[in-house]
Amino acid sequence: MAKFAFFFSYSPETWNRMVMKPNDRTAAVRTAVEAQGAQLESLYYMFGSHDGIVIFDAPDSRAAAAISLAVTASGALGQCETRELITPAELVDVLDKAGASQQAYVPPGT
């Protein structure tokens, strides 16, 4: 399984509903993630350009995209983005592959 980070920001209306009826959103997030055969690792809230982050393992990028689209379609979010995470060991493989491509690539105008 691949690991993904889903950054999100709630809409003002969603924040208002949460202030009026505070609750832990972990179970709801877990249900949405597991509907795609994925596993929730963690849910955190934060300050800054995003209100929170969900880290999950998904079978593939299509499952991660489906999770993102389902949650976004609810209208509860003002902004979101999904990123695939790469471990240090995986990066070594990526760099090896990049080296092979770099040798084969011909830059424009050369």
pLDDT for the residue 85? 98
**Helix or strand or coil: residue 8?**
strand
73 domain-assigned: yes
110 domain-assigned: no
51 domain-assigned: yes
pLDDT for the residue 34? 97
Identify whether the C-beta of residue 81 lies closer than 8 Å to the C-beta of residue 4: no
Instruction: Please write the tens of the pLDDT for every residue from 46-74.
Output: 999 999 999 999 999 999 999 999 999 99
109 domain-assigned: no
6 domain-assigned: yes
Which residues, 6 or more positions from 46, have their beta carbon under 8 angstroms from its beta carbon? 52, 53
Looking up residue 76, the CATH number of its domain turns out to be 3.30.70.1060
Whether the pLDDT of residue 81 is over 90: the answer is yes
Which H or E run includes 85? strand 77-85
pLDDT for the residue 101? 85
Whether the pLDDT of residue 103 is over 90: the answer is no
Instruction: Please write the tens of the pLDDT for every residue from 6-44.
Output: 999 999 999 999 999 999 999 999 999 999 999 999 999
- Please give the residue range of the domain that contains residue 44: 2-104
**CA separation for the pair 107, 10 (Å, rounded):** 42
Whether the pLDDT of residue 83 is over 90: the answer is yes
**Helix or strand or coil: residue 96?**
helix
Which H or E run includes 56? strand 52-58
Domain count, the chain: 1
18 domain-assigned: yes
